[in-house]
Amino acid sequence: MTQVAEPITDRPVGATGATVPHWIGGRRVAGTSGRRGPVFDPARGTIAREVDFASVEEVDAAVAAASAAFPAWRATSLSKRTEIMFRIRNLVDAHRREIAAHMTAEHGKVPSDALGEVARGLENLEFACGVPHLLKGGYSEQVSGGVDVYQIRQPLGVVAGITPFNFPAMVPMWMFANAIACGNTFILKPSEKDPSAGIYLGELLAEAGVPDGVFNVVNGDKVAVDRILEHPHIAAVSFVGSTPIAKYIYETGTRHGKRVQALGGAKNHMVVLPDADIDMAADAAVSAAYGSSGERCMAVATVVAVGAVADPLVEAIGKRLPKISIGPGSDPDAEMGPLVTGQHRDKVVSYLDSAVAQGAEVVADGRNHELFKGSDGFFLGVSLIDKVTPEMDCYRDEIFGPVLTVTRVGTYDDALKLVNENPYGNGTAIFTRDGGAARQYQFDVNVGMVGINVPIPVPVAYYSFGGWKGSLFGDLHMYGPEGIQFYTRGKVVTSRWPDPGTSKVDLGFPRTR
């Protein structure tokens, strides 16, 4: 793909060329706070543009636009809202390459990966096109003499989504598709590292006929996030990002009376049993560990090699590493791009040093890649660290880079103990040809999403996505049926249409029999 992203910018600023604005009330709104942050071109290692950071007043303006739009939007018929959802779906489908190009430009992921992200986001729009069916309530006739009871689900009002850098289009779609289909109005606070995809989506939604104020984007940092968490007119907050911030969002948002779902970080274990097909397991480990430079919350971070599988598996993984093609998104052969920022790459590199100091064995060191040494871009080759134990930093922390660790254990029970004692519980996979062992793992493991010979078990849009333990704060998983539940609240109506003259005073508690 050779698509080039048209920068989403409003006005020239200094040496960086331009600034990414907000999207409020159906139009681009240039920031007035005077605060901005850099947006890098990760493949070149330069600042490509800046992004406006919203002030409290600018967040308030977005909330005012969303509040003003809410009454008419929730009263818009389900068939009309469905028609608009279909049009959004079609426009996103038609503009896959432009959306992907924004991601390649600011996140650095290669086009094939970026297009995969758009495709998975699109699934959520398609699910939300079924909203008339999804919002059907229940009806019980004649619960008592002449009395019926029925339940309806209604939107919450203004809701907000705060999203991470690694999926700048898909994660917003996880949230806003169901939120607006259910009749809410929405405020997106994208990652400040790659904000253009969010503004571009705002423009597509406007073209699809989404009324002004139904979908808004405020760019920014902690100032914008804190205002969202405190604002009295925001009813619910969805968050995806790292665990410490997810915990903060959940605690602060719920303290301010909001419904909150906050998805956090991960350390996904891929357990390989001795009977597994070594080539299949090695292909899966390499694909899932290094795709998107390891910057995926469902990336395989650590292989748990059980028994005698360890030596051949490490060898098979090692053999595949030199074949991975690393380069900028403009290189049609590149399978893996740079990391998102230089600062993040340096942090990832630090785990290679600590692993050696703490006694692990570095089988492949990404610093040997020519683009690490000879490019200004934020490139790092792929690394494989063997003989990692649970107390080492490279096992304990979420590295979020192209580094795969291997922990060797003796038995299935040792593997299960390791996974269940880990503080994260986002995804996990087991590779085996033994159906009974796989089923036992599915039963035993304390993790929210499980793959059986599938390394990245991201649920399809008609199920819901969510981890356990430190990977999710809140009750409801994201998107799918639980997303509909999150963005609506139930109302139960008890109804009677008695004939005049049949009533009498009765101070007893209402009874059905």
Q: Which residues are catalytic?
A: 297
- 57-116: which residues touch ligand NAD (CB under 6 A)? none
Based on CB atoms, which residue is closest to ligand NAD, 467 or 483? 467
Q: Shortest gap between Cβ of 104 and ligand NAD (angstroms)?
A: 17
Footprint of ligand NAD on 346-405 (CB under 6 A): 398, 400
- In the chain, what are the helix, strand and coil shares in percent, each to the nearest 5? 40, 25, 35
Q: Taking the chain, what is the end-to-end CA distance rounded to the nearest angstrom? A: 69
**Which residues 252-271 are close enough to bind ligand NAD by CB under 6 A?**
263-266
C-alpha dihedral (111, 112, 116, 117), degrees to nearest 10:
-30
Comparing CB distances to ligand NAD, the nearer of 150 and 462 is 462
The answer to whether 59 touches 224, Cβ cutoff 8 Å, is yes
Segment contacting ligand NAD by CB under 6 A, of 49-57, 132-140, 189-197, 502-510: 189-197
CB of 189 vs ligand NAD, minimal distance in Å: 6
Both tokens of 451, joined, read: 């793959």
Residue 199 binds ligand NAD (CB under 6 A): no
Among 189, 258, 345, 477, binds ligand NAD (CB under 6 A): 189
Identify the helix (H) or strand (E) that includes residue 374: helix 370-374
Residues numbered 111 to 170 that lie near ligand NAD (CB under 6 A) are 162-167
Q: What interhelical angle do 222-230 and 56-75 show, nearest 10? A: 50
Tell me: does residue 18 bind ligand NAD (CB under 6 A): no
Phi, psi of 408 (to 5 degrees): -100, 130
Q: What is the enclosing helix (H) or strand (E) of 409? A: strand 403-409
CA-CA distance, 45 to 40, in Å (whole number)? 7
Which amino acid, residue 308? A
Structure tokens at 285: 């480990």
Q: Which helix (H) or strand (E) covers residue 196, if one does?
A: helix 196-207
Which of 27, 80, 136, 222 binds ligand NAD (CB under 6 A)? It is 222
Question: Which position among 10, 148, 212, 221 is part of the footprint of ligand NAD (CB under 6 A)?
Answer: 221
Structure tokens at 331: 């290189």
Q: Among residues 192, 194, 386, 482, which is the contact residue for ligand NAD, using CB under 6 A?
A: 192
d(CA 74, CA 370): 55
- Decide whether 221 or 230 has the Cβ nearer to ligand NAD: 221
Residue selected from 181, 237, 297, 429 as contacting ligand NAD according to rule CB under 6 A: 297
Q: State the nearest-atom distance from the C-beta of 113 to ligand NAD, in Å.
A: 14
Residue 237 interacting with ligand NAD (CB under 6 A)? no
Comparing every residue's Cβ against ligand NAD, the nearest one is 241
Residue with tokens 């990760």: 42
DSSP 50: E
| 223, 195 Cβ separation under 8 angstroms | no
* Min CB(303)–ligand NAD separation in Å: 18
Q: Which of 42, 467, 474, 483 binds ligand NAD (CB under 6 A)?
A: 467
Q: How far is the CB of 165 from ligand NAD (least distance, A)?
A: 4
List contacts with ligand NAD (CB under 6 A).
162-167, 189, 191-192, 221-222, 225, 240-242, 245, 263-266, 297, 398, 400, 426, 467, 471
